[in-house]
Structure 1
């Protein structure tokens, strides 16, 4: 019997439904995979010790992805179509955490993602650093496999 050890958080890939480009699957960081409930408070007459908190609806955070800037990317074309031409085409995004053999351990399937924000890191002649692009996506919900 072996003891369980939690997986490492650095071996993953991101797959967009709009791109088959292998470079579009490589990201430095992925954040925003979180869900919480909006709560409604209900004050009961005669009960002064506490307030009832009732779950109303789920709320998903925006997904933030960071990577070194690509000059040829289907994902960036999708972003530019949204920002330049206001063409919002929702797509599915899968974040796949892998084990040491490259096999999927857990997959988060993000449903109906659309571009929300795109940021390019500062260009500074006195620093020797990679240009980082940050992409934020809004989405409806995610499922876990």
Structure 2
């Protein structure tokens, strides 16, 4: 039998869907998050040449950076997005910045169709660099009002202790 990438559910042929997920911060799920951007890291390439053999480049890893993640959710009366964004900057200015609590660790959970957690990532030392409190409003559109948040992070790790759930 061919390897399908699943150890526990060897009968499963398709990968997990991208619409079953939840985002947690402060130990609880964030309400209404409808979109989470990709988790991506990039390592710079350092090129160098050897003195006796300088006809081609040698390459080694340099600095690694973690790309920001965009979050979207429909506007509700839950103020958690705005409260967190305000820890970095508010209308009152620099003196109201929260230097202690503006960074959070987040958890992203991807679930199977049954709602069981299949994959978990920890996102470390996250903070809000952009916040859209109110989108463009258009009386002619047939759309939900969405608030956006751009999250900067210092790194992410997959939780290898999250085991593949039994689906049988």
Which band: TM-score by shorter chain?
0.7 to 0.9
Q: Does 1:9 align with 2:18?
A: yes
TM-score, L = length of structure 2: 0.76
Deviations 1:69-126 (A, max 9, x none): 1222223211123220322421111110011221111011101111110123211222
The structure that has the greater radius of gyration is 2
Could you say what the CA RMSD is over the residues aligned between the two structures, in angstroms?
A: 1.9
Pair 1:129 & 2:143 matched = yes
Unaligned runs of 5+ in 2: 1-9, 91-95, 160-168
Is 1:92 matched with 2:105? yes
SS of residue in 2 equivalent to 1:102: coil
Give the 3-state SS of the residue equivalent to 2:89 in structure 1: helix
- Aligned mate of 2:59, from 45, 53, 60: 53
Q: Give the corresponding residue for 2:5.
A: none
Unaligned runs of 5+ in 1: none
Q: Is the 8 A contact 1:97 1:105 kept in 2?
A: yes
TM-score by length of 1: 0.86
2:74 and 2:147 in contact (8 A); partners too: yes
- 2:115 aligned with 1:102: yes
